[in-house]
Amino acid sequence: MKTDDALVVDARSGALGAFDQLMLRYQKLVCKVAMNYVRDKQSALDVTQNVFLKAYSNLAAVTAEGMFKPWLLRITYNESINWLRKRKRHEHHDDIDDHELAAAPTGGQEERVFLREEQQQLLAGLEALNPKYRLAVALRYAEGMRIREIAGVMECSEGMVKSLLFRGVRRIRQQVEKSA
């Protein structure tokens, strides 16, 4: 399996298959990050398509090793924010489908209802966050990225990422406590 850096070099040379491999490697992640902003699956797919079009057009901008993923996620963030600005609508989207609820611990109907309410409170708390806090929290806790990687995506210091995470989690906790 080729590294991202090798695929970027190949794609810059005109090998479309190399860029296809990068797309396959990162399309789910890009779509998940976009979904954290646009809250609608079709819109997240549209944002994802725009992200990869921009990425392909600007591959020359990836000059440092190991920077493709943070660079791609930064494009995703920018495209998501642009989408929100253009549409000026914030729809609440329930990310929890019936399959996830069916996979919930078996404890009866009451436990599933409680789990659903708890997840909806967390999603509402996440949605209420400023976009920078939301991105940091989503990348850390939903995607499991390291602080250093998040700093690369957000183009800020690791200390700033830690601050955003601390404040973001605190605000979500306050939101959940308020609604409880």
Mind listing the pLDDT tens digit for each residue in 144-170?
Answer: 888 988 888 888 899 999 999 999 888
Q: Are residues 118 and 142 in the same domain?
A: yes
Domain hosting residue 65, numbered range: 1-89
Q: Are residues 83 and 108 in the same domain?
A: no
Residue 91 pLDDT greater than 90, yes or no: no
Among 60, 89, 118, the domain boundary falls at: 89
Spell out the residues 6+ positions from residue 4 whose beta carbon is closer than 8 angstroms to its own: 22, 25, 66, 68, 69
Nearest Cα residue to 31 out of 55, 4, 49, 18: 49
In a domain, 179, yes or no: yes
The domain tally of the chain equals: 2
The CATH number for 164's domain is: 1.10.10.10
In a domain, 131, yes or no: yes
Which amino acid is present at 131?
A: P
Q: Are residues 110 and 165 in the same domain?
A: yes
Rounded CA-CA distance 138/117 in Å is 19
Q: Are residues 118 and 73 in the same domain?
A: no
The kind and range of the H/E element at 177 are: helix 158-179
Mean pLDDT over the full length of the chain: 82
The gap between the terminal CA atoms of the chain, to the nearest Å, is: 48
Among 67, 89, 111, the domain boundary falls at: 89
Question: How many residues make up the chain in this entry?
Answer: 180
Q: Are residues 37 and 62 in the same domain?
A: yes
Rounded CA-CA distance 39/93 in Å is 5
Query: Three-state SS for 96?
Result: coil
Task: Tell me the pTM.
Answer: 0.64
Q: Percent of the chain at pLDDT above 90?
A: 37
In a domain, 95, yes or no: no
Spell out the residues 6+ positions from residue 56 whose beta carbon is closer than 8 angstroms to its own: 11, 19
Identify whether the C-beta of residue 91 lies closer than 8 Å to the C-beta of residue 85.
no
Among 89, 116, 151, the domain boundary falls at: 89
pLDDT bracket for residue 111 (50, 70, 90): low
Identify whether the C-beta of residue 46 lies closer than 8 Å to the C-beta of residue 83.
yes
pLDDT at 152: 85
Q: Which range among 4-8, 57-61, 72-76, 87-91 shows the weakest confidence by mean pLDDT? A: 87-91
